[in-house]
Structures are given as C-alpha cells and as structure tokens.
Amino acid sequence: MTLSANPDTKPDTPTSPHGGNIRSRLFPKGTIWILLLFSTISLCIALVGISWRAAELARADLQTEIREKAGIEARVLGEKIENALRLGIPLREIVGFETVVYQLRNGDPDLVFAAITDKAGDILHAGGLSSDEIATALKAPSGNDTAYIVTRLDLPRAEGQDDIEVVLGHARAALMRPVTDNLYDIAIIFIITLALSFELMLLVLTVNVALPVRVARKVLDNVRDRKFTLLHGQSTHDEIGQFMERINSLINTTAKKVGTHPQREREVKLIGVRMLAFMFVLAEELARPIMPAFFSQVTSHSIDGQLGAGVVMAVHLLMVALAMPICSLFQEQVGSLRMYLCGAFLATLGLIGTAFAGGIWDLVLWRALSGIGYATTFVACQSYVLDATNDSNRTQGTAMMVSGIMLADICGPAIGGIVAGHFGPDMTFIAGATIAFLAVLLAFFLMDNMVRGKTPPPIPTRAALRAMLGNRRLQVLILFAAIPAKLILSGFLYYLTPMILLQSGATTAETGRVIMLYGLVAILTGWAAAKWTDKNQNETRAVGIGGGLTAAGLLLAGWLPEYALFAVAVALLGLAQATSIPAQLSASLKLSKDFTKDHGTGPVLAVLRLAERLGGAAGPLLAAGLTLLVGTTHAVLIFGAFAAVSVLCFELLIGHVPPEQKNEGGTK
Amino acid sequence: MTFSLLPAFRLLGILVAIAVSIFAPAAYAQSQPDPLKIAMVLWRGETNVEQGFRAYFDENSIAVDLTIYDTARDLSRVPAIIDQIRKDPPDLVYTWGTGITSAVVGKYDAVDPVQNITDLPVVYVMVSSPWKTGIAAPAGQSRPNVTGAAHIAPLPAQINAIRAYRPMDKLGVVYNSREDNSVSNVADLTELGREMGFEVLAAPLGSNGEPSQDDIPPAVAELARKGADILYIGPDNFIGNYRDTLTDAGFANGLAAFSATELEVRDGHAMLGLVSRYELVGRLAASKVEQILIDGISPADIPVETLDRFSYLIRLSSARKLKLYPPLSLLDYAEVIE
C-alpha cells in the first residue's frame, strides 16, 4: 500500500532512480501518519476485542461439547472394560487398553489420555500418556487454568469388588481451537480491511480534498498574480466547493472589469483509475483458488476434468493475450471510459455465465468473454493513465495503477477463498460479477471522459521492427525469462497449487491464503527489489536471480509437497517475480535501445507483453497435460526443472550488459 | 384367404384342447419332483457342515434324499463306497475333506475312470487347498463334473489374526508330512513368513512311517524350546484327530494354539482361530448343488469358492489356562467361547 504513488497530490515532486527523493514522494507527510497510526491501532484493538469476546462466548459452548464428547468416549471405554470383566478377564490382566485409547484418539485429536483407576486413585491401565504423567495431571488442582479437562465415569462392580473409574483427559487448548483455526481468516480480513480502507480513504480524500485544493491553489495563485483567467472547475458541493464558487463569482466580476474571459480549471481524477484497476482485477481474482477444481467439475462430463480445467484456463489467458493488442489499436478511437465500460460489462457477463456454466463449451465461451473483458479494462486503464500523465508523473501513474492491481491480487483470492468456503464456487463467480458490474457504475464517476491529449508515438519502419525482433539478446530475454516466468506463474500458481492443496485436504480459505502470499510477498519486496536493481543497474542479473528463486521454490515444493513448503514456494515465486518482472521491462528497453530511441518503447513493450501472455496461456495447458501424464507432484518437479533449465540458458546466452548500456540505463 | 384358413385354426384348437386334457395330470405330477438324490461321503460322520447343507434345502423347500457313507476316518473304505454308489447311482455325490475328495474324484490331470467317479457330478467341502492338491483344475481350466467350497481363510489374514491377539515372530507347526495339503500349507506359510517377517518352526511327523499320537508332545516341546510364540493348526486330518493331545502339550509348554479350522477351537482347546463357520460352508456347498441339479448348470461352469467372511473365535478357558487374555479391541468382534 505504502508503495503506491499518488501523482494527483504531488505532481511536481522530482523523482530519482536512486531513491533520493523517493521517500518524500512515496510517503505522506505530517499528521496523516498519526491519523493512519491511530486508525490502524483502533482497528486492531476492535478486531482483537471482538475475537477475544467471540472466543470467550464460544468457550462455554465448546466446554459443554467437549464434556458431552468425553462422556460418550468414557462410556465406550467403560463398556469395553465391563465386557472384559463379564467374560471373566481379571481387571489387572486386561490387555490392549493403550490400543483402544489410541483408536479413540484417532477419532478425537483433543483426547490426550485415558486411564482406569481404582477408588484409591491408583492407575490400573493407562493410554495416551504414561501412568506417572496421568497421575501428575490428575493430582493438579481443578480449575480453568489446568492443561486438561478431566472427565470421570464410575464403573460400579459386583459386591465384594472395588468400584473403578474411567478417567479421560482432553486438552484445554481445544477450547480455543475453533478460534485459532479462524485466526488466519481474521488476520486476512484485518489486512484486507486495512487495504480497502486505505483505498477508499485515498479515493475520497483525493477527489474531495486534494484535487479541489490543488486547483483552488492554482486559481488563487492566478488571482494573486492579478491575472483573473482561471475559475475553479473541480466541482464539489462541500465547503471547499462553496467557498470556491464565491471566489469564482468574484473572479468573474473582476474579469469583466479588466476585460478577460476566465476558463474553468480542473484536473483529471487520476486516482479513480486505481480503484477501477483494483475492481476489475478483484472481480477476476476472487474465484482464483477454486477455478481449477470448479472447471474440472464442470468439464468432467465431456473430457478428463483436469485437462478440461487446463483448456478453459488457457483459453481465458489466450483471449487476454489476443485482446490486449487489438484493444490497444482501437483505444484511440473508442476512448478510455467507453472501453472500460465495455470491458467491465463483458467481464460481468462472463463471470455470471461461468457461475451457471453447464458444460465445457459454454464454460469456454464465458471464460473467453471474461478474458476479453479483463484485457479491455486493463488496456482502458493503462491508456487512461498514459493519456492523463506527462513525462514527469507517468511512472508514478503507472505505479499507482499497478499497486491497485497488486492489491486486488492479494485480496481477491483470500476473500474468494472465504466466500467459496461459505457460499460455494458459483456464488464466488457471482460475487466477482457483482464487483465487475459495480465497476461499470463507478467508472462514470471515477474516469474523466476527456483527458489531455498526448503526442502519438512514432511509427516504426518495417526494417526497424525486424531489427528489433532479430536482436539476439532480446530473443534470449523473451524466450528464457519472460515466457517461462508467466508460464510458471499461471501453470504453477494458478493451476497446480490450488489443485494440489485442495486435493491434499486444504480448505479453499487455506488455498486462498497460500495464493495470497504471492501477491503479499511481491508487493512487500517489490520496492526493495526494484531499488536494488536500480542501484546496481544490472537488470539481467536481477532477471537471473528471479529465475533461480523460482526454480528453487518449485523444486522444493515438488520434492516435498506439503502445505508449508508450498507456502514457501509460493512466497519465493512472489519474491522471484517481484525481482524479475520489472527488471525484464527495463532490460528489454535497454537491450532494444537502438530501436526505442527512434520509435519509442511501445512496440518493444507490446512484443514483451504478447510473449508473456502467450506464456501465461501455455502454463495451465502444460500443467494439465503433465498432471494427466505424471501426476500433480511430478508436474511441479518438471516445472521446477523447466525453470532451472530456463534460467541456466538465460545466464549462458544473455551475456553481460556492456558498461555503456548500464550508464544509459541508469539515466533513463 | 382368411376365410379359407378359419376351419384349420378351429381344428388346431380342438386338438390342443384334447392334448391338454390327456397330458395335464402327468404335467402336474412332474411339478412335484422327486427328491434330489445325494450320496454323502463323510470323514467322521455328520458335522455342522452337513447341518448347514440340510438347512439350506429345508429353507428353500427343496426335497433331498441323502445317503450317508461314513468312512470313519479310514480312507481305505472309499473304493468300496464308490462301488456302492455305482450300484445305485445318485444325482450327485458330496465329499468331505481333502483325503476323501481326492480318492473319489482323483487329481484333475490324473483321473482314473475305474477308481474315480467321472460320470456323476461331485461337490466337495472342507478341502483346504483344492488347487494345491490338484483336486481343482488350475486357473483357466475346469473339471467337467467337479466343483466345491473351500473353507480356509487366506494365510495372510490368518497371520494378521494371530498378531491381533499377540506379537508373533516364530510360528510353530506340527503336521503330518504324509498329507499333501499339510505339506503345501507349511510351504506356503514359510514363503509368507519371508514377506510378513516371521519364521516358521516346522515339526513334521510321519517321516518314518505313519505318525502316532505319541509323537506330538515331544514335537511341541521341541518347538517351545526353539522359541515358538504360538502353535499353528492347519488343515491336517492327523492333527485334527489328535487336536487335544496337541493343545495339551501346548498348555504344558506355555504355548497357545491357533487354528485355521473351526472345530479345533469350538470343540477342542485351541485358544483362537480365524475360521469359516462350518454351517456356512455347508450352505455354500448346497447352493452349488442347487445350481447343478435344479438350474442345470454344469459343474465345470460353477467356480470353486471360499466364503468371503470369517469368524474370529477365542476360547477363553484356554486363554485363562495360559494367562494370555485377549486384547480389549478383539472383544468387539470376536466370538468368545467359554
């Protein structure tokens, strides 16, 4: 969150690739920190308080439940003992008590020990813990602070024989188990709540305070200079708006006297694009954790479910890849707002259709529609940012949009996992569709239809294009870094990870949490990684490191496919992509500097994006094919091996960036 | 055309009516069929197997006429019994045990039409290893007139049953080396021991002529000395005859006995067993007889089968003698006999 730059609020702040003024650009100044700290602490206190209260309320119910369960278990044990005694087996000669307790513990992990004691309290038979340990536990004073909840059941015996007792000990920690089980969900909801609050606050403050104040300052500066040529045009109906309306009327009066014709001054609400980018990605990412399983289920009537899921996901990504360049061609004519509206509408349709899909063909159709919608909204947001910014704040504008997307990447799967767990996969897609539809409505308010024009990019000649595509080092970058990176991202993170985790018994919420780790790590480490890359001016090295980290994570997950190691692998992938992806962008521009100095960066980026998207489309297909052939775990290993081979080829073939290129890159 | 055919149909109807009136009593008589005539060649008189066999026919209202031929544990009587059967041929021959069945039907690849019954269907019971002993044809082949019901639980299941009661690393087996099925059973156990991690301590009897009852106690004592954890009673007619001698020798040496057959636990003193209930084996055999004689299915098309469920028997008096009480978890499903 804190990485998000806000060009609306500080357009003139100088930037430095080495981070000189970056701190002042990135972090707000003054009392806002105190407010942020105060609101964060308040939220923390509220959530902790609610959780604690919920735990306290649940404790009584859970204690009753555990006591009932313990009662049943004690009766089961008691009946077995009575049966043995009825058969004439002497009490002390009873065999296999430990095994029976072990079997009981298999069905009830909260049960720690069980014992048979005589009236004197001597332990005759023990299971779960040793006799001495049980004796110590039973001697502890009763109360709520002991480690075990002890349950006793009397077993009266025939006359002349001492009565005996079945004693069971359950872990008192079990009382908090439902709360601790939900603790992750609470933590995620906390992070997401903070993130969403931040987004909303940013939007509201920028639109209602920062922009009107900035325009007011311009207008008042204009008045101070006795020009009377500007009117406040940033329409708000609050105190600022009313105040500036009065100033406007004064300017109008004065302008008439001096004979000038003042124009209304307003600024583009660039901040809105952040929310819109956030929403269109969130709509798609909500169902991310359940996609493979849901697609498998829907397509299983027609073809093998796993292959079906791969095909559907590949079609979606392919449509994104194809739609993006096509949308870019028409963006000029259509305009960002209309394009965004079309895209969000298509995404809404696609997501609703997906929720109700009955077979492979309509599912492919709906997902293709979603893909086109996603690509269209993406291009609309990107072009809006490019149109609404100038050279001085373009990087910040792009970073702002990207941070909205990353935030949705983090929140989407986590929220989606929880939604899917409670309401099912179809409702998750419908929730996505609802968000996409809300984006349609919000786009009218958040996206200005008219933005500043910009200089059209120079049209590259065919020879220049050919030369660019023939650049061997660019080819190496695309073939062994850009394509593998996205192929692994979509194949491993979006296909294999949810598939394996769900198959191994993880809940959708747990799966969502693991996928969320990717975005979280990427957003937390992205800035440091980019700073490191900028500082060293060695983008190809960063790309190599990213590839190496990816390979290490995947090989680890494939070697030991456990939940925790998958989380580590996904986190490593997040770090790897945060290191590699921005570096790939810079490296591609550096490697094509002969082309970009004459024809701009557009075509290079278009080629890079297309290659990435094609890699992304191939990922799920490859993952599905490998799953069918060798199983999911081996598929992860093969992906790891592929990553290792790719990074090896990249390192061997890319060569070192000549010093002069480094320097040029450093000043870019 | 229709007009010209009408008298012909009328004539046909009259003929049918006459035929029905003539043959109806005979047809009615045939609906009350003669009882199924079954010759039963038994090892030691009727057992629970035969009770189950009879009960099956009673419950299904199938009339049977059973002729009992008891060999009284003497296989030399079988040829005479076969001669008697040939004089008054039944619909089917029922044989009990490996020895009798082998004598009545021969091995699948060495049938002698003079000594063996080849022209009557034969259903056998209580043959522990029909394939190993050659009574049943190997997989893919069949015998034209022979099928049957086996009664022994698979060996791995037997070993698991022993180990469910108590740990077992050394299995002591006293057996008659002159009985094919015992020899093959011990060979199978030895091979299984390599897979399941136990050693078979074999004590073969009868290597120098017919074994005697007196050979059993020293053999058991020798097994105890070698460290046997438990005695194994397999499908062995000799040991079956002197089962109490074996179990008493076991008690004297602190060794419990496991049996693969029911009687050694139910009527003897073996401490535990994983067995097919004899009555159910008899019912299974009866169902095969029904298939052959009523449904008209050839014995060659009826598979040799064993029951798919077995009973875990525990004789508590033996456990008490040895102070080897059954584990609690076994009491949930074992049949405990006092």
pLDDT tens profile A135-146: 888 877 666 667
Residue B94 has pLDDT above 80, yes or no: yes
Q: Average pLDDT in the B245-273 region?
A: 91
What's the whole-number average pLDDT of chain A? Answer: 78
Residue A95 has pLDDT above 80, yes or no: yes
Tell me the range of A538-542, B259-263, B310-314 where mean pLDDT is highest: B310-314
> E strands, B129-269, where?
146-150, 170-176, 199-205, 230-233, 257-259
Stronger pLDDT, B30 or A354, i.e. the higher one: A354
* Res A305: pLDDT: 64
**DSSP H helical segments within A87-151, as ranges?**
97-107, 131-139
Residue A588 has pLDDT above 60, yes or no: yes
ipTM: 0.70
Residue in A with minimal Cα distance to B315: A87
Centre a 10 Å sphere on the Cβ of residue A44 and count the other Cβ atoms it contains: 12
Q: Model pTM greater than 0.90?
A: no
Residue in A with minimal Cα distance to B337: A87
Stronger pLDDT, A269 or B100, i.e. the higher one: B100
Q: Average pLDDT in the A476-493 region?
A: 88
Q: Helix, strand, or coil here: A105? A: helix
Centre a 10 Å sphere on the Cβ of residue B131 and count the other Cβ atoms it contains: 15
Range of lowest pLDDT (A205-214, B99-108, B260-269): A205-214
Distance from CA of A97 to the nearest CA of B (A): 6
Nearest to A80 among B316, B331, B336 (CB): B331
The 10s digit of each residue's pLDDT in B144-203 is: 899 998 888 888 999 999 999 999 999 999 999 888 778 888 998 999 999 899 999 999
Q: Do A94 and B325 touch (CB under 8 A)?
A: yes
Nearest to B328 among A88, A90, A94 (CB): A94
* Res B326: pLDDT: 92
* Predicted confidence band of residue B222 (pLDDT cuts 50, 70, 90): very high
* Predicted confidence band of residue B28 (pLDDT cuts 50, 70, 90): very low
Residue A451 has pLDDT above 70, yes or no: no
* Predicted confidence band of residue A339 (pLDDT cuts 50, 70, 90): confident
What's the whole-number average pLDDT of chain B? Answer: 86
Instruction: Write the DSSP assignment of A342-408 as a string of letters.
Output: HHHHHHHHHHHHHHT--SHHHHHHHHHHHHHHHHHHHHHHHHHHHHH--TTTHHHHHHHHHHHHHHH
Q: Do A100 and B328 touch (CB under 8 A)?
A: yes
Number of CB pairs, chain A paired with chain B, less than 8 A apart: 37
* Res A293: pLDDT: 85
Residues of chain A with pLDDT > 90: what percent?
6
Stronger pLDDT, B53 or A530, i.e. the higher one: B53
Q: Average pLDDT in the A494-506 region?
A: 82
Of the CA atoms within 13 Å of residue B289, those in its CB half-sphere come to 34
Residue A21 has pLDDT above 50, yes or no: no
Stronger pLDDT, A390 or A174, i.e. the higher one: A174
Mutate: best of B321, B324, B331, B337, partner A, most A CBs <10 A: B331
The 10s digit of each residue's pLDDT in B109-149 is: 888 888 889 899 999 998 877 888 889 888 778 888 999 98
* Res A453: pLDDT: 43
The 10s digit of each residue's pLDDT in B303-318 is: 888 887 888 999 999 9
* Res B161: pLDDT: 92
* Res B82: pLDDT: 92
Which tokens sit at A64?
């009753």
Mutate: best of B328, B332, B333, partner A, most A CBs <10 A: B328
Distance from CA of B170 to the nearest CA of A (A): 21
* Predicted confidence band of residue A619 (pLDDT cuts 50, 70, 90): confident
Residue pair A436/A373 in contact (Cβ under 8 Å)? The answer is yes
* Res A397: pLDDT: 64
* Predicted confidence band of residue B4 (pLDDT cuts 50, 70, 90): very low
Nearest Cα residue to A364 out of A421, A310, A440, A420: A310
| B:304-333 residues touching chain A, CB 8 A cutoff | 316, 320, 323, 325-332
Residue pair A388/A452 in contact (Cβ under 8 Å)? The answer is yes
* Res A182: pLDDT: 65
Residue A601 has pLDDT above 90, yes or no: no
Tell me the range of A1-5, A311-315, A395-399 where mean pLDDT is highest: A311-315
* Res A458: pLDDT: 53
* Res B8: pLDDT: 46
Q: Do B329 and A99 touch (CB under 8 A)?
A: yes
* Res A645: pLDDT: 93
